[in-house]
């Protein structure tokens, strides 16, 4: 595929949002064209972007040993020369003035942070955590980590905490994001295995996006859709008229959290019309009969009534699926973050299975991951499952890991960790007293974040390991460990299509900040458990340990001989077992991985990872969401991504002046014109949004993009999660961020504004 010059697509900024046209234009394409002549680089290093799970290849331009600019890599199979604004601006957050440059210890008297040496920081770390564990037991200390550090680092942290330090409770922000997909894939396919390759986006004739807004959240994937030569039917299932919905041929603006009903309704219609594939179902699945019986109740009339869609809309969508030669089903947080999220994800999988849309080009039941290394975390974080999808409860799995890591079996816990929300409950109950937060900012991002005020009071020792000392979470730490960021360390990420990509150090971390990997090595030494980690001497050494752990598992990448192979091939998708490399020889293997095997999908043989090789149908009766609108809180608050220039809690993207021009600085709430009229609200006016938890101030943005009775706030603003009310999917324990009952009131200052009803 030839390279493409960068274009500034329209949807990068809000359509008719509060952003002025001037600021749009002045932002300009913030890459190539702006390199001053004196900075013309002399060499480039390849790396993978450290924001989202698309995992675009970037070439970092180096001059005199310093990175001066970057350009998207035209030869990288994922992005083929494209990048979104965050990618273009990836170097800027490294140079932010609020980088943490040395360990900071809170003075118990003045309550202020004071700089200390690493030796002091490590001594405090070990003595405080050890004291807690000795006095209150090993379960009194927990870890919350991230999908945004390298796989080698995640694996190190998980092994260090559980096998080295003897801890048990550890979870990460992938719980907020991917837990639902993990459970759904495990139950349906027998392994957490997103089956697709991005090329599938270009090969479908029908694409169905459910609760996903790739124009904003995975912009370069959307560019791949735009290259689809089949003039595909594009169905978007989303209560909002998102940027993606605007590009769709069908937009199903269903009532929030009624996806399960719609998906069962589609299955019912397809079976009634004989549009399913009995041959495929018989040969490769189990549980279809019971499923078919179950969905008989979901007539088009019922589905229309309960979802708010018109019967004709539902039938048109079902017909498109029935007629499609290659139908790809893609889902993201609109599915994963709900009170019945796992069953909803499984309902998507059911549709793909019953229509035989899996294992062929352009098909699949495809969960798009979020963070750059969510997939690495799912496989190797060692928190809820043992490495490479092994099970803490299974003795053979524990023995395998003990043997492969050369550690005694008794150091491996025989039960999994508490889930994220249960860890917080345990802090509240006084059972967990020490917490180590790595690469996540939960005081901003957690559902019903105000809860943290009480939790922080109860924590006797909070360690935060972050690039910045200024995050909402870092500000409360007793000890801050300064971390190097993306671009300041080596390692690998695994992107959404299972591609292991190489991340390179191109810049020195400021001051005494260290790569997370190095911090974990130092902790192991200080703790006195370094003997178990003698082989964990460098990121690449750990990569070889991970290869070993993956061998014989569905995610086997033992045939990836090292970083050189990743560099040569533009990343490698798992699986790639050692036999594939050995039978061809390394050079030939690299050639084929860089050529015909650049894009590979799973299940082309119709065999799944379940014991009988068959994929399974799962279903359950739909239930209403817990925090429902009532007289006091008559509207539904939806939350999600705001612009392609904002990343989560904005600790990184907020540091780029270019990106800052691309989004509104103040928290805003999207309101339908009918509601706005009733409230006497106009765009730009202040409005109070309150839920059963909190009341916050926001700027109104009146738009027909949200339906009457619904409002939307991006998660990037601290206000949003003050409003959200904790609720969880019972199977995945992922928070249901996308359904909160709220009330709007014009902020008049006098407090007697009108309320929406």
Ligand X SMILES: Nc1nc2c(c(=O)[nH]1)N[C@H]1C(S)=C(S)[C@@H](COP(=O)(O)OP(=O)(O)OC[C@H]3O[C@@H](n4cnc5c(=O)[nH]c(N)nc54)[C@H](O)[C@@H]3O)O[C@H]1N2
Give contact residues for ligand SF4 (rule: CB under 6 A). Answer: 49, 51-52, 54-56, 79, 83-84, 86-87, 218-220
Bridge partners of residue 42, in order along the sequence: none
Shortest Cβ 66–ligand X spacing (Å): 19
Shortest Cβ 371–Mo ion spacing (Å): 5
Where residue 603 falls (left for φ over 0; alpha for ψ -120 to 50; beta otherwise) is left
Decide which of Mo ion, ligand SF4, ligand X, none touches 56; Cβ closer than 5 to 8 Å per partner kind: ligand SF4
Q: Calculate ∠ Cα 393-394-399, nearest 5°.
A: 120
15 three-state secondary structure? coil
139 vs 168: CA distance, rounded Å? 6
Q: Pick between residue 370 and residue 482 the one whose CB is nearest to Mo ion.
A: 370
Decide which of ligand X, Mo ion, ligand SF4, none touches 516; Cβ closer than 5 to 8 Å per partner kind: ligand X
Decide which of ligand SF4, Mo ion, ligand X, none touches 87; Cβ closer than 5 to 8 Å per partner kind: ligand SF4
Shortest Cβ 499–ligand SF4 spacing (Å): 11
Bridge partners of residue 735, in order along the sequence: 728
2 vs 698: CA distance, rounded Å? 45
Q: Does 335 bind Mo ion (CB under 5 A)?
A: no
Decide which of Mo ion, ligand X, ligand SF4, none touches 54; Cβ closer than 5 to 8 Å per partner kind: ligand SF4
Contacts of 263 by beta carbon, 8 Å cutoff, 6+ apart? 210, 344, 347, 348, 350, 351
- Residue showing tokens 């013309």: 40
Q: Pick between residue 499 and residue 733 the one whose CB is nearest to ligand SF4.
A: 499
Decide which of Mo ion, ligand SF4, ligand X, none touches 220; Cβ closer than 5 to 8 Å per partner kind: ligand SF4
214 vs 745: CA distance, rounded Å? 32
Shortest Cβ 84–ligand SF4 spacing (Å): 3
Shortest Cβ 668–Mo ion spacing (Å): 21
Decide which of ligand SF4, Mo ion, ligand X, none touches 441; Cβ closer than 5 to 8 Å per partner kind: ligand X
Contacts of 526 by beta carbon, 8 Å cutoff, 6+ apart? 122, 123, 125, 126
Shortest Cβ 52–ligand SF4 spacing (Å): 3
Q: Phi, psi at residue 378, to the nearest 5°?
A: -60, -35
Q: Pick between residue 52 and residue 427 the one whose CB is nearest to ligand X.
A: 52
Residues that bind ligand X (CB under 6 A): 52, 146, 148-149, 173, 176-177, 210-213, 216-218, 237-240, 242, 256-257, 259, 332-334, 337, 370-371, 438-442, 444-445, 465-468, 471, 483, 485-486, 516, 638-641, 644, 646-649, 651-652, 715, 720-721, 724, 737-738
Decide which of ligand SF4, ligand X, Mo ion, none touches 210; Cβ closer than 5 to 8 Å per partner kind: ligand X
**CB–CB of 668/700 below 8 Å?**
yes
Q: Could you say which residues in the range 155-184 bind Mo ion, by CB under 5 A?
A: 177
Q: Length of the chain, please? A: 757
Decide which of ligand SF4, Mo ion, ligand X, none touches 478; Cβ closer than 5 to 8 Å per partner kind: none
Shortest Cβ 59–ligand SF4 spacing (Å): 12
Helix (H) or strand (E) holding 133: helix 118-136
Decide which of ligand X, ligand SF4, Mo ion, none touches 47; Cβ closer than 5 to 8 Å per partner kind: none
Bridge partners of residue 237, in order along the sequence: 210, 252
Q: Pick between residue 83 and residue 295 the one whose CB is nearest to ligand SF4.
A: 83
Shortest Cβ 554–Mo ion spacing (Å): 23
Q: What is the largest CA-CA distance in the chain?
A: 77
Closest to 262 (Cα-Cα) out of 180, 203, 321, 216:
321
Closest to 428 (Cα-Cα) out of 452, 412, 409, 407:
452
Shortest Cβ 652–ligand SF4 spacing (Å): 11
Q: Pick between residue 151 and residue 371 the one whose CB is nearest to ligand X.
A: 371
Q: Pick between residue 211 and residue 387 the one whose CB is nearest to ligand X.
A: 211
Per DSSP (E only), the strands in 512-577 are 572-573
Q: Pick between residue 160 and residue 659 the one whose CB is nearest to ligand SF4.
A: 659
Q: Pick between residue 560 and residue 725 the one whose CB is nearest to ligand X.
A: 725
Tokens at residue 753, please? 């504004």
Tokens at residue 407, please? 């550690």
Q: Pick between residue 284 and residue 641 the one whose CB is nearest to ligand X.
A: 641
Shortest Cβ 147–Mo ion spacing (Å): 7
Per DSSP (E only), the strands in 461-608 are 461-466, 479-482, 491-494, 499-503, 572-573
**CB–CB of 515/509 below 8 Å?**
yes
Cβ–Cβ contacts within 10 Å for residue 692, how many?
A: 15
Q: Could you say which residues in the range 369-398 bind Mo ion, by CB under 5 A?
A: 370
* C-alpha dist (Å) from residue 318 to 56, 106, 268, 271, 551: 34, 60, 10, 10, 41
331 vs 178: CA distance, rounded Å? 11
Q: Pick between residue 55 and residue 482 the one whose CB is nearest to Mo ion.
A: 55
Shortest Cβ 660–ligand X spacing (Å): 14
Q: Pick between residue 486 and residue 536 the one whose CB is nearest to ligand X.
A: 486
Q: Pick between residue 493 and residue 576 the one whose CB is nearest to ligand SF4.
A: 493
- Burial class from Cβ neighbours inside 10 Å (0-12, 13-18, 19+) for residue 25 reads exposed
Shortest Cβ 548–ligand SF4 spacing (Å): 29
**Among all residues, whose Cβ is closest to ligand SF4?**
87
Decide which of ligand X, ligand SF4, Mo ion, none touches 639; Cβ closer than 5 to 8 Å per partner kind: ligand X
- Burial class from Cβ neighbours inside 10 Å (0-12, 13-18, 19+) for residue 453 reads exposed
Q: Pick between residue 332 and residue 703 the one whose CB is nearest to Mo ion.
A: 332
Shortest Cβ 374–ligand X spacing (Å): 7
Tokens at residue 639, please? 């939350």
Asked if the peptide bond before residue 709 counts as cis, ω within 30 degrees of 0, the response is: no
Site residues (vs Mo ion, CB under 5 A): 177, 370
């Amino acid at each position: 595929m030839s390279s493409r010059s960068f274009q500034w697509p329209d949807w990068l900024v809000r359509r008719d949002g509060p952003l002025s046209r001037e600021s749009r234009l002045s932002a300009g394409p913030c890459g190539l064209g702006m390199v001053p002549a004196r900075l013309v680089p002399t060499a480039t290093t390849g790396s993978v972007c450290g924001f989202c799970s698309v995992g675009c290849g970037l070439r970092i331009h180096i001059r005199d040993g310093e990175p001066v600019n970057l350009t998207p890599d035209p030869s990288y199979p994922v992005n083929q020369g494209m990048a979104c604004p965050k990618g273009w601006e990836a170097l800027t957050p490294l140079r932010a003035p609020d980088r943490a440059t040395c360990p900071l210890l809170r003075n118990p008297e003045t309550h202020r942070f004071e700089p200390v040496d690493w030796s002091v920081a490590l001594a405090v770390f070990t003595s405080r955590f050890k004291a807690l564990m000795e006095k209150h037991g090993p379960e009194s200390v927990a870890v919350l980590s991230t999908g945004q550090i390298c796989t080698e680092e995640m694996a190190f942290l998980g092994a260090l905490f559980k096998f080295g330090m003897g801890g048990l409770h550890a979870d990460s922000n992938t719980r907020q994001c991917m837990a639902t997909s993990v459970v759904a894939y495990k139950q349906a396919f027998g392994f957490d295995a997103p089956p697709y390759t991005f090329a599938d986006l270009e090969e479908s004739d029908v694409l169905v996006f459910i609760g996903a807004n790739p124009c904003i959240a995975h912009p370069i994937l959307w560019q791949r859709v735009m290259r689809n030569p089949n003039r595909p039917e594009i169905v978007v299932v989303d209560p909002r008229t998102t940027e993606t919905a605007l590009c769709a041929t069908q937009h199903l603006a269903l009532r929030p959290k009624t996806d399960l009903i719609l998906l069962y309704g589609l299955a019912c219609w397809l079976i009634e019309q004989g549009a399913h594939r009995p041959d495929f179902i018989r040969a490769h699945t189990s549980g279809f009969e019971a499923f078919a019986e179950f969905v008989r109740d979901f007539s088009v009339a019922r589905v229309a009534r309960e979802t708010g869609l018109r019967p004709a809309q539902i039938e048109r969508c079902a017909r498109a699926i029935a007629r499609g030669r290659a139908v790809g089903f893609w889902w993201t947080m609109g599915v994963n973050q709900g009170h019945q999220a796992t069953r909803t994800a499984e309902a998507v999988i059911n549709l793909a299975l019953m229509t035989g849309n899996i294992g062929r080009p352009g098909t699949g039941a495809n969960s798009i991951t979020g963070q750059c290394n969510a997939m690495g975390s799912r496989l190797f974080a060692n928190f809820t499952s043992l490495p490479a999808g092994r099970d803490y409860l299974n003795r053979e799995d524990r023995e395998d890991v003990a043997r492969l890591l050369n550690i005694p079996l008794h150091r491996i816990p025989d039960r999994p960790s508490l889930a994220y929300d249960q860890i917080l409950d345990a802090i509240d109950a006084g059972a967990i007293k020490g917490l180590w937060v790595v690469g996540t900012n939960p005081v901003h991002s957690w559902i019903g974040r105000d809860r943290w005020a009480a939790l922080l009071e109860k924590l006797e020792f909070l360690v935060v390991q972050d690039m910045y000392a200024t995050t909402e979470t870092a500000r409360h730490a007793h000890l801050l460990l300064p971390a190097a960021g993306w671009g300041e360390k080596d390692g690998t990420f695994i992107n959404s299509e299972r591609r292991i990509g190489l991340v390179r150090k191109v810049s020195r971390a400021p001051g005494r900040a260290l790569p997370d990997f190095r911090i974990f090595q130092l902790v192991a030494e200080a703790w006195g458990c370094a003997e178990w980690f003698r082989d964990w001497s460098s990121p690449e050494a750990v990569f070889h340990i991970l290869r070993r752990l993956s061998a014989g598992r569905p995610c086997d990448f033992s045939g990836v001989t090292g970083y050189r192979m990743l560099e040569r091939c533009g990343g490698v998708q798992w699986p790639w077992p050692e036999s594939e490399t050995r039978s061809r020889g390394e050079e030939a293997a690299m050639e084929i991985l860089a050529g015909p095997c650049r894009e590979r999908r799973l299940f082309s043989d119709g065999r799944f990872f379940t014991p009988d090789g068959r994929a399974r149908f799962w279903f359950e009766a739909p239930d209403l969401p817990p925090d429902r609108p009532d007289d006091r809180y008559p509207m539904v608050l939806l939350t999600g991504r705001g612009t392609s220039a904002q990343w989560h809690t904005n600790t990184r993207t907020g540091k780029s002046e270019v990106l800052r021009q691309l989004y509104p600085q103040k928290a805003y709430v999207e309101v339908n014109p009918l509601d706005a009229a009733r409230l006497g609200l106009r765009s730009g006016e202040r409005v109070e949004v309150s839920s059963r938890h909190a009341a916050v101030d926001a700027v109104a943005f009146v738009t027909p993009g949200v339906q009457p009775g619904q409002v939307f706030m991006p998660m990037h603003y601290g206000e949003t999660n003050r409003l959200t009310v904790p609720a969880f999917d019972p199977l995945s324990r992922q928070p249901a961020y996308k359904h909160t009952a709220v009330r709007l009131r014009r902020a008049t200052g006098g407090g007697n504004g009108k309320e929406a009803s």
